[in-house]
Structure 1
Amino acid sequence: MGTDQIFFKSTPLYKEYLLLEAVEKNSKITQRELSRILSVAVSMINEYLDKEENLGYIRKVYRSSKDVEYIISETGKERVKLLNIQYLKSALAIHNAARKDITIFIDRIIQNGFKNIILYGAGDVSEIILQTLEFDRNLELNIVGIIDDSKDKQNTNLYDILVTDPKNIFNIDHDGVLVSSYLHQNTIEKNLELLNYDKNKIIRLFKD
């Protein structure tokens, strides 16, 4: 990772962002709720809150011995904005790195003779592939269809391309199918096998 992605390396920084954002949205949030959001033990939340209070980002108001309200200061609100910008910058850097890797992969697909392909899996990976092709018009790869096993995704559109049932695969003029899912790639390949699909036309983005 480059320096632009340091936000994701620094767990305390990310947790600070989550905590301040949560307090800004709900001053009466409980420590148990904060522990769930930050994915830390409830016993550690006081330490996080004390640190933010010492920095002047929040103020504790005791309504009773057990009822505490956390008021975010103007400085705290500015801190949230700064952390949000850093978060978005890091997310963008990671997204751009992923898109670069996808571009290299698409080039390899084209060099292997594929030009009109179907994406199997209407998820995040397919979305990044479609974004990459939209961004770089020099990539001569056509997405002629998207198929997915999920009934909820079928008959919806992803970048103006209709998502259909995998059974329609032979009704689409294409020269290959890209398995665009990491979690379900084995299931997808088994489904293609059940459809007697040509193994030589299956394109794998993820290695086993």
Structure 2
Amino acid sequence: MNTTPQRDEERVLELLQAVERRSDVTQRHLARQMGVALGLANSYLKRCIRKGLIKISEAPANRYLYYLTPKGFSEKSRLTAKYLAASFAFYRSAGESCARALKECEARGQQRVLLCGVSDLAEVAALRALEMDIDIVGVFDPRTERRRFLGKPVWRNLSEALPFDVCLLTDTQADRGVYEQLLQTFGNNGVKVPDILRL
């Protein structure tokens, strides 16, 4: 769901935070922290140095020390505030979207809900379900290795799932094909999609 500029800013923020925590950080460590290839981490580091966000100095044994400049501290603060604002906006929108979907389930008498997809959206849906007469029976997600999520069982195979009345799509990476597969399996009344997913 992230756009490229958003992901770019998130990576810069991750880099600035890593350098602030530890000035003797290696580029390999930065790459691991950011979840990117070594070359991409190096590219972000060079860009931050060019922009004056990070200062570099040589240390013994062919090592480098990285420091945030005042401009780097300022940029880290700005990006942190922007990230938090976007996160709060997502949770607010997701909460409203999940509440609408769950209210429709509740109105139909569909009280046992299976979440489809381990995600932030699944967490939001589970929290909103607490406000209603809805029981989240567990989560179906064939791609996860998790066995439990939010105190509920996670199944990789639908045949293992507890009985449920409706499945609520909470996979934020799902495309139209995933939705159509669920429709073929459970029919129109057996699948609910929060409108935040725009499927």
Would the alpha carbon gap of residues 175 and 59 (structure 1) be closer, same or farther in structure 2, given more than 3 Å must change? Answer: closer
Would the alpha carbon gap of residues 61 and 153 (structure 1) be closer, same or farther in structure 2, given more than 3 Å must change? Answer: closer
In 2, Cα distance between equivalents of 1:10 and 1:177: 30
Is 1:21 equivalent to 2:23 in the alignment? no
> Displacement of 1:11 after TM fit?
6.5
Is 1:98 equivalent to 2:94 in the alignment? yes
Would the alpha carbon gap of residues 76 and 179 (structure 1) be closer, same or farther in structure 2, given more than 3 Å must change? Answer: closer
Structure 2 gaps of 5+ residues are none
Identity between Structure 1 and Structure 2 (%): 16
In 1, Cα distance between equivalents of 2:18 and 2:49: 12
TM-score for both structures, normalised by structure 2: 0.64
Is 1:185 equivalent to 2:159 in the alignment? no
TM-score for both structures, normalised by structure 1: 0.61
Q: Where do residues 1-208 of structure 1 align in structure 2 (5 Å cutoff)? A: 13-30=9-26, 37=34, 40=40, 42=42, 45-53=45-53, 58-63=54-59, 67-72=63-68, 76=72, 80-81=76-77, 83-111=79-107, 113-121=108-116, 123-124=118-119, 125-134=121-130, 137=131, 139-140=132-133, 142-148=134-140, 150=142, 152-154=145-147, 156=148, 158-163=149-154, 166-169=158-161, 172=163, 174-181=164-171, 182=174, 185=178, 189=182, 193=185, 199=187, 201-205=189-193
> Displacement of 1:121 after TM fit?
2.9
In 2, Cα distance between equivalents of 1:35 and 1:99: 33
Structure 1 gaps of 5+ residues are 1-7
> Displacement of 1:148 after TM fit?
2.6
2:24 aligned counterpart, secondary structure:
coil
In 2, Cα distance between equivalents of 1:66 and 1:118: 58
Would the alpha carbon gap of residues 152 and 83 (structure 1) be closer, same or farther in structure 2, given more than 3 Å must change? Answer: closer
- For the aligned residue pairs, the C-alpha RMSD in angstroms reads 4.1
Conserved 8 A contact 2:169-2:192: yes
> Displacement of 1:24 after TM fit?
1.5
C-alpha distance after superposition, 1:116-141 (max 9, x if no partner): 1231435113222112223xx2x44x
C-alpha distance after superposition, 1:160-197 (max 9, x if no partner): 4344563355x63x43333443268369639x84xxxx
Provide the aligned length of Structure 1 versus Structure 2: 183
- Please tell me the residue identity of whatever aligns with 1:119: L
> Displacement of 1:104 after TM fit?
2.1
